[in-house]
Amino acid sequence: MLGQAQELLQKYFGYSSFLKGQAEVIDSLLRGNDTLAIMPTGAGKSICYQIPSLIFPGTTFVISPLIALMKDQVDGISASGIPATFINSSLRRAETEKRLEQTGRGKYKIVYVAPERLEMPEFQELSQFLNVSFVAVDEAHCISQWGHDFRPSYRKIDDFIAGLQQRPVLGAFTATATGEIRKDIVKFLNFQSSKIFVSGFDRENLFFEVLRGENKKEFVLDYVQRNRGKSGIIYAATRREVDNTFKLLQEKGCSCGRYHAGMSDKERKASQEAFIYDKVSVMVATNAFGMGIDKSNVRFVLHYNMPKNMESYYQEAGRAGRDGDPGECIILFGAQDVLLQKYMIKETVYSPARRKNEYHKLQTIIGYCHTSRCLRHYILDYFGENDLPKQCGRCGNCSTDAKMNDITLEAQKILSCVVRVKGRYGAGLVAEILKGSKNKRLLRLRFDKLSTYGLMSEYTLQEIRDLINLLAAEGYLVFTGGEFPVLKLGRKAVPVLKGNEKVWQRLPKKREMRKESALFDKMRLLRKEIAQREGVPPYIVFPDSTLHELCEFLPQDRDSMLRIKGIGQVKMERFGEEFLQVIKEHE
């Protein structure tokens, strides 16, 4: 049956061979094994259940957590010629019954449903008349309370399956699952004759970096302007940060949208669609955005604030480069981020056991933001991959293009100032003392008489604050907790003050992403025109990686066009001739 699967892969998806891990998962499912597949975002998890659904008799139910994700998936596979539909709360009862009736008559091979739908008696009753031979559980980590997106409705999936006339083959898929979460998936889905495949968590096309002590606003503005036209996501921890960053970029003429829970449903939907359909290049959002987005041409993901844990970060960062082309994932770390995340855990997590677990996970991501070892190694080690090289050459800590700036003298001045004010004041006042500010409060406290007053007058206040944040991120200073945190010396401060150790600031070289050719721009314009005509997002027509291959190999006829990755028979018939014409005219 794997041979048949290979033929379907070429016919519908335009690929001549499976990616790493796909063939093993598909073979296991076709042999009737309940199968758990843990594969990184962009590794082709969806193909692992879409191909078997075409081979199994009857219907496949795909349990998916978000409405937007269902629509994206259905749009994508429908464009490839696979009959599919979705059933969710956006449909009226009559439409739901119509789609189920059409499924029973064989119109659809794949039906996407939300987990909450499975609990509805009327849906359970209608499902009794279907031949459900395969059930695929997407985002399966949602079944575990230790996962980062726990959904209680996922715990009801086993009850639904038990109520079907015959037990279907069961597949579970996720990009992020520790050993503890894997056990929960197998347990709560009641796997039988189960197989577990971990194809590796590494995303080789992604570049990881953590920048500490940066002026975040200036960095984001500069980064977006240098990569104008590239599709990217900027995650911020709060609605206020999202709004401020969105306003900053918009005022500077950047093409961007925003997304957070404080907006109306209509506003969020409009903003999301503008991003998906390439009407805006950049989305500024809280972590409420993205789980249901299958957009393949995201070239960068910036985190304005440190994420809450490694699972969340790897899933959010993994939205870059889903098409296999290069992507950049950068965290802008500030010492205040730790206090913010602790506050959010305290306010939103009520179970003592879960709260303890969240604090433990937070400490792990803090370690990631401070480590000097390979960032990719740190991530993969967290997910249980231990047989790895010490350096990957594709992250900020392994990169050799950084300039090291000696800031020992500046550090000594800042640390000395914290000593002089006896660790009783925050970063703002310390920066003003070092700047030599005439602030009334500062003068009233007679801090203008301190020996450190005005020692850094040549710096701006923001530059001094940035250096303070850098020292705090590196452990030379610490922020206390509370609403108004104050600065105290960290464990690494004394050797610096005594002149026994130096402090270095890493200044990474600004990297430019790949400059696109004139032909690529013409193809991207054609893709957008076709997408508008078909009513689908541009990446559904062809991903960026396919356009790049077209530019490289310049196919001249149908046969050579079908050898390009991502062009199957259906898409060749629908769009192929138009792209061939662009290539011929360009030459």
Q: Do 225 and 369 have their domain in common?
A: yes
Higher pLDDT, 51 or 92: 51
Q: What is the pLDDT of residue 392?
A: 83
Instruction: Please give the mean pLDDT across all residues of the chain.
Output: 87
* pLDDT surpassing 90 at residue 290: no
At residue 533, does pLDDT exceed 70? Answer: yes
Q: Which domain holds residue 446?
A: 405-507
Domain boundary (507, 530, 553) is at: 507
**Would you say residue 393 lies in a domain?**
yes
Q: Given pLDDT bands bounded at 50, 70 and 90, which one contains residue 3? A: confident
- Most confident range (mean pLDDT) of 334-343, 401-410, 446-455, 517-526 is 446-455
Report yes or no on 512 lying in a domain.
no
Residue 159 counted as domain residue: yes
Radius of gyration for the chain, computed over Cα atoms and rounded to the nearest angstrom = 26
> Cα separation of 309 and 329, whole Å?
15
pLDDT at 225: 92
Whether residues 349 and 429 share a domain: the answer is: no
Q: Note the pLDDT of residue 125.
A: 81
State both tokens at 15: 């690929």
Residue 525 · residue 553 · CB < 8 Å: no
Using the Cα atoms of residue 97, residue 101, residue 102 and residue 103 in order, give the sign of their dihedral: positive
- Residues 86 and 127 reside in one and the same domain: yes
Residues 194, 231: one domain? no
pLDDT tens for residues 36-71? 999 877 778 889 999 999 999 989 999 988 776 787
pLDDT tens-digit readout, 303-318: 999 999 998 899 899 8
Domain boundary among 166, 198, 230: 198
Question: If you average pLDDT over each of 74-78, 87-91, 254-258, 381-385, which comes out highest?
Answer: 254-258
Q: Are residues 453 and 464 in the same domain?
A: yes
User: Residue 350: what pLDDT?
Assistant: 76
Which residue type, as a one-letter code, is found at position 247? K
Amino acid, res. 420: R
Q: Tell me how far the alpha carbon of residue 475 is from its chain's centroid.
A: 28
* 156 contacts 163 by C-beta, under 8 angstroms: no
Work out the pLDDT band at 400, boundaries 50, 70, 90: low
Claim to verify: residue 571 and residue 424 sit in the same structural domain: no
User: Over the stretch 442-487, which tens digit does the pLDDT of each residue have?
Assistant: 999 999 999 999 999 999 988 898 788 778 877 899 887 544 678 8
Beta strands in 428-532 (DSSP E): 477-479, 487-489, 504-507
Residues 175 and 134 in one domain: yes
Phi, psi of 328 (to 5 degrees): -120, 140
The stretch 122-134 carries a mean pLDDT of: 85
Boundary-marking domain end, from 475, 507, 539: 507
Is the residue at 528 inside a domain? Answer: yes
Residue 156 belongs to a domain: yes
Minimum mean pLDDT among 166-180, 233-247, 383-397, 504-518: which range?
Answer: 504-518
CATH number of the domain where residue 502 is located = 1.10.10.10
For residue 206, the SS3 value is strand
Report yes or no on 148 lying in a domain: yes
**For residue 292, what pLDDT band results from cuts at 50, 70 and 90?**
low
pLDDT of residue 330: 96
pLDDT at 232: 95
357-390: b (≥16 Cβ within 10 Å) or e: bbeebbeebbebbeeeebbbbbbbebbeeeeeee
Answer whether residue 386 shows pLDDT above 60: yes
Over range 414-432, report the average pLDDT: 92
Instruction: Give residue-wise pLDDT tens across range 556-580.
Output: 888 888 888 888 888 888 888 899 8
pLDDT tens-digit series, residues 146-178:
665 678 888 999 999 988 889 999 999 987 777
pLDDT for residue 126: 78
- The CATH number for 562's domain is 1.10.150.80
Together in a domain, 185 and 284: no
Q: How many residues are present in the chain?
A: 587
Q: 415 lies in a domain?
A: yes
Same domain, 464 and 381: no
* 410 lies in the same domain as 318: no
Is 72 a residue whose pLDDT tops 90? Answer: no
**Does one domain contain both 442 and 391?**
no
Which residues make beta-bridge pairs with 395?
208
513 assigned to some structural domain: no
Task: Residue 114: give its domain's CATH number.
Answer: 3.40.50.300
Residue 440 CB coordination number (10 Å): 8
Taking only the tens place, the pLDDT of each residue in 174-202 is 877 777 888 889 999 999 877 888 877 78
Write down the residue that tokens 């981020």 correspond to: 337
Are 170 and 161 spatial neighbours (Cβ–Cβ below 8 Å)?
A: yes
pLDDT confidence tier of residue 86, bands split at 50, 70 and 90: very high
> 193 and 232 share a domain?
no
- Count the domains in the chain: 4
Rounded Cα distance, 569 and 575, in Å: 10
**Which tokens is 262 given?**
């404080």
Q: What is the mean pLDDT of residues 131-150?
A: 83
